[in-house]
Amino acid sequence: MANHKSALKRIRSSETKRLRNRYQHKTTRTFIKRLRESTDKKEAENLLKQVTGMLDKLAKKNVIHKNKAANLKSSLSRKVATM
């Protein structure tokens, strides 16, 4: 266990950030799944806009790698374009 006040605070803040990152990552994965399963082009375009923003935010915060975000955006936009 940590002995210093600052170390205890770091443990608390790290846990808070971990839970927030986990929630945002899971939410993004759910939206990606919904986008992949959609058949309506109009709905898919709206979802793509949302998912792109979510992926950018996760990549900016280093929750996922920036190249992974780029690859996901590319494959999803290709899917929407071929609908």
The pLDDT tens digits of the residues spanning 5-55 come to 999 999 999 999 999 999 999 999 999 999 999 999 999 999 999 999 999
Neighbour-count burial for 25-52, b at 16+ CB within 10 Å, e otherwise: eeebeebbeebeebeeeeebeebbeebe
Over 90: is that where the pLDDT of 57 sits? yes
Q: Per-domain residue ranges for the chain?
A: 40-83
Of 55, 69, 64, 67, the residue nearest 47 (C-alpha): 55
Q: What is the pLDDT of residue 6?
A: 93
Q: How confident is the model at residue 83 (pLDDT cuts 50, 70, 90)?
A: confident
- Residue whose token pair is 């979510």: 54
